[in-house]
Amino acid sequence: MGDVKSVDPAALEMLAHAESCGISTAFSRADEMKPCPIGEVGACCRICSMGPCRLVGKDAEQKTGICGADLPTIAARHFARQVAGGVAAHSDHGRDMALTLIAAAQGDAQGYGVRDEQKLMAVAAYMEIPTKDRSVGEIALDVGEKALEQFGQPHGEIITTKRATAKRQALWHKLGLTPRAVDREVTEVMHRTHEGVDLDAENILKSALRCSLADGWGGAMLSTDISDILFGTPSPLASEVNLGVLKADQVNVVVHGHEPTLSAMMVEAVRDPELIAEAKAKGAEGINLAGICCTANEILMRYGIPPAGNFLHQELAVLTGAVEAMVVDVQCIMQALAPLSQRFHTKLITTSPKAKIPGAVHVEFDEHRAPETAREIVRMAIDNYPNRGPIHIPDFKERLVAGFSHEYLNYMQGGFHRASFRPLNDAIIAGRVRGLAGVVGCNNARVPQDQAIVELIKNFIANDVMVVVTGCAATAGAKAGYLRPEILDAAGPGLREVMEAIGIPPVLHLGSCVDNSRILTVLTQVATEGGLGEDIDDLPAVGLCPEWMCEKAIAIGTYFAASGAHVIFGVSSPVKASRVVTGLMTKGWEALVGGDLEFIPDWNEMLARSLELIDGKRAALKLAPYDPAQFGDSGDSPYFAAIKEYLAAAAEPVAAHAHDHSGGDAHTHGDDGGDG
């Protein structure tokens, strides 16, 4: 990746530590293993054993594989399979949530139940499930069964697509893009992209669009809704982030992966007085739970458990030597964790029958006896505490506020009885808020960790663009301090005025990657609130995935495009080899669905293009051109100056990072810094 490995000082410190110990990480392996230049750009086909066929050279677009497949077909086919892979991953997660809800409703899932009845009723309403004179359990069972049907139903359309604007639903119908069932769309893409089936790049890409919608408006959306029903709809809370949340004198348990089911039980287990006493008997001061990747986001949003980091932090956490157990479920788990853990005392524990790793201990998670499993795992960590060797916890952590949901934003803008998005829409119309940007997705070891994400967030808010974040991008922003309430000071004058009035920060953490569905819901409400057109493709909004890494990210980018959003990805384009496919996904999709998917590696160019797209939409809506000089001097300024002074006095020094390698922990988390 070149000289800059990360913009996170905790990562840099741990990379130096890794080097001094002679241990490799994804960062060092990315330097040693260059990407295959043919596969990277989508010019390699390995769909049948007459190949792999590689279409390279100046005239590549004129060449064909042995079967005659040309470059557009090969690139589109590979891209569509990436979409299907991503959809399958998110949706299988969603399916497991539906199964958990069903088991809970049947009284068959110890420890789980309906936490948020209001959300259950809202979901039942759009699923057209009767609620009058029925028990919560009966309704929950029907919601779970209805959700489960969306994956494999033989007829009909995915019910959640009805939550899109009327205009969008009509467009999808007209184009044949309404997804029918999750499994069917994934299967159909795999069929069409088998050797010798769909050989028209444009048609292949249409099937990719439909398949992606089965994720955003299907599996992922159902996953978010059911997680809210089971674990509560998030509302803002304060916590901390980065490797400095690991505690030198406590049993550290890190949960990593994506699903909230086991990790929610882990939260309860680490708070169990009996287990805490056992930890103390082993010489520890207590038990400390932290997260990595999207499991971290799930339990941060609902319980305030601090994330130890994002995707590229998983190995760095083990490298601290202070992690007694790294507990993983599914997705984004590096196999490198197994040999790495063996160099320390860390127990790597796999929990899903779908995701085993040679060298790890497997403790299978069973939703019927989840609290027991969680306690068993915590006990393994406690028993492992005396085996700890030297530790090296970097003394970097940052405060954050997370836990925004569509429901909470509604509430903030009008209270329980007049919930709306009116204030935000009015602010966009007036130009106080220039537009909206979603900054989402992964870390990628091929580019400097967090750099593009943080620079984009910083420059968006300075330019009065309100930002929502999810996934590893949310963690990146948090580590850099952009989820602290005081970051309002870094926002442009208009954005700042509006955020002060509504009482929300300029960068909103909306959750994990399946929670990108929350962004779809927010955009849909902004579009239907009035004054900003009728659909997502009318909005001055843009979606960015600056450090995309996996197939899930590709699926997300595609469903945002299919929903009408302009989407910009960083790193490199998986279809770069084909000018035809690149054109289809930009101009072609824009003409078809109003959204598109571009790949721009440089963050400066991503920013410039984003602002150009936002201003273009403002002009199309005939809104006042954005003018930063117009706002920021409201009559309330002295009042807010007083609040700011108060906040500054109350805040602890943020950048006081003493390089104390003992890992001594002077702070506590979750007790300050929030506006929640």
Report d(CA 302, CA 233) in Å as an integer.
8
Binding residue for ligand SF4, selected from 4, 21, 50, 591, defined by CB under 6 A: 50
65 makes contact with ligand SF4 (CB under 6 A) = yes
Residue selected from 47, 526, 561, 600 as contacting ligand SF4 according to rule CB under 6 A: 47
CA 217 distance to own-chain centroid:
15
Residue 625 burial by Cβ neighbours in a 10 Å radius (0-12, 13-18, 19+):
exposed
CB of 196 to ligand SF4, least distance (A): 7
Q: Which does 48 bind (CB under 5 to 8 A by kind): ligand SF4, ligand BF8, none?
A: ligand SF4
Q: Tokens for 230?
A: 């089971």
Select the span of 145-153, 398-406, 548-556, 564-572 touching ligand BF8 (CB under 6 A).
Answer: 548-556
Contact stretch for ligand BF8 (CB under 6 A) within 35-43, 161-169, 383-391, 547-555: 547-555
Residue closer to ligand BF8 by CB (options 245, 294) is 294
| Partner whose footprint covers residue 191, from ligand BF8, ligand SF4, none (CB < 5 to 8 Å by kind) | none
The reply on whether position 632 binds ligand SF4 by CB under 6 A is: no
Minimum distance from residue 445 beta carbon to ligand BF8 (Å): 11
Residue 75 and residue 575 in contact, taking contact as beta carbons nearer than 8 Å: yes
Select 290 or 526, whichever has its Cβ closest to ligand BF8.
290
> Any idea what DSSP says for residue 305?
P
50 binds, among ligand BF8, ligand SF4, none (CB under 5 to 8 A by kind): ligand SF4
Minimum Å distance from CB 442 to ligand BF8?
3
Q: Which one of residues 83, 293, 340, 456 is an interface residue with ligand BF8 (CB under 6 A)?
A: 293
Pairing of strands 237-241, 398-402: antiparallel
Choices 57-65, 208-216, 272-280, 550-558 (CB under 6 A): range interacting with ligand BF8: 550-558
Q: What does 552 bind: ligand BF8, ligand SF4, none (CB cut-off 5 to 8 Å by kind)?
A: ligand BF8
Secondary structure (3-state) at 598: strand
Interface of this chain with ligand SF4, residues 261 to 320, rule: CB under 6 A: none
Q: How far apart are CA 2 and CA 198, in angstroms?
A: 40
309 three-state secondary structure:
strand
The CA distances from residue 37 to 25, 28, 49, 327, 573, in Å, are 22, 19, 21, 35, 12
What minimum distance in Å lies between the beta carbon of 391 and ligand BF8? 25
| Shorter beta-carbon distance to ligand BF8: residue 111 or 471 | 471
Number of residues that bind ligand BF8 (CB under 6 A): 16
How far apart (Å, rounded) are the C-alpha atoms in residues 518 and 510?
7
**Shortest separation between residue 43's beta carbon and ligand SF4, angstroms:** 10
Q: Could you tell me the smallest distance in angstroms from the CB atom of residue 88 to ligand SF4?
A: 22
User: 193 or 373: whose CB is closer to ligand SF4?
Assistant: 193
> Is residue 626 helix, strand or coil?
coil
Site residues for ligand SF4, 178-217, by CB under 6 A, read 195
Query: What phi and psi values does residue 191 have, to the nearest 5 degrees?
Result: -65, -55
- Examine residue 471 and tell whether it contacts ligand BF8 (CB under 6 A): yes
Strands, E assignment, 246-357: 251-257, 287-292, 307-309, 323-328, 347-350
Q: Does 332 bind ligand BF8 (CB under 6 A)?
A: yes
Closest to 8 (Cα-Cα) out of 315, 314, 396, 293: 396
**Which residue, 469 or 532, is less far from ligand BF8 as judged by CB?**
469
Residues 72-131 that bind ligand SF4 (CB under 6 A): 74
Residue with smaller CB distance to ligand BF8, 267 or 474: 474
Q: For the purposes of burial, counting CB atoms within 10 Å of the CB of 325, is it exposed (0-12), middle (13-18) or buried (19 or more)?
A: buried
- CA–CA distance, 285 with 302 (Å, rounded to integer): 25
Output DSSP code: residue 577.
T
Give, for 288, the enclosing helix (H) or strand (E): strand 287-292
Shortest distance in whole angstroms from residue 192 CB to ligand SF4: 13
Is 441 one of the binding residues for ligand BF8 (CB under 6 A)?
A: yes
Of 477 and 533, which has the nearer Cβ to ligand BF8?
A: 477
The answer to whether residues 322 and 246 touch, using CB atoms and an 8 Å cutoff, is: yes
Q: Does 66 contact ligand SF4 by CB under 6 A?
A: yes
The four Cα atoms 287, 293, 295, 301 give a dihedral, to 10 degrees, of: 90
Radius of gyration, CA atoms only, the chain: 24
Q: Residue 440 in contact with residue 505, Cβ under 8 Å?
A: no
Q: Which is nearer to ligand BF8, 71 or 452 (CB)?
A: 452
Contacted by 101, from ligand SF4, ligand BF8, none: CB < 5 to 8 Å by type:
none
| Residue 442 binds ligand BF8, judged by CB under 6 A | yes
* H-helix or E-strand spanning residue 444: none
Nearest to residue 243, comparing CAs of 169, 322, 297, 189? 322
Q: Does 565 bind ligand BF8 (CB under 6 A)?
A: no
Question: Which residue has tokens 């999810």?
Answer: 470
CB-based contact 352:332 (threshold 8 Å)? no
- Compute the least distance from the CB of residue 292 to ligand BF8, in Å: 8
Using the minimum distance from each CB to ligand SF4, give the nearer residue, 52 or 625: 52
- Residue number, 258 or 347, with CB nearest to ligand BF8: 258
Residue 385 makes CB contacts below 8 A (sequence gap 6+) with 251, 279, 282, 283, 284, 324
If one counts every other C-beta atom within 10 angstroms of the C-beta of residue 493, the result is 16
Stretch that binds ligand SF4, among 43-51, 175-183, 296-304, 414-422 (CB under 6 A): 43-51
Of residues 454, 438, 449, 632, the one with CA closest to residue 539 = 438
| 164 scored as a contact of ligand BF8 (CB under 6 A) | no
Give min distance, CB of 97 to ligand BF8, in A.
Answer: 14
Q: Which residues pair with 350 in a beta bridge?
A: 328, 362
Length of the chain, in residues: 676
Task: Give the binding site for ligand BF8 (CB under 6 A).
Answer: 258, 293-294, 310-311, 332, 441-442, 471-472, 512-513, 549-550, 552-553
Task: Give the binding site for ligand SF4 (CB under 6 A).
Answer: 45-48, 50-53, 65-67, 69, 74, 195
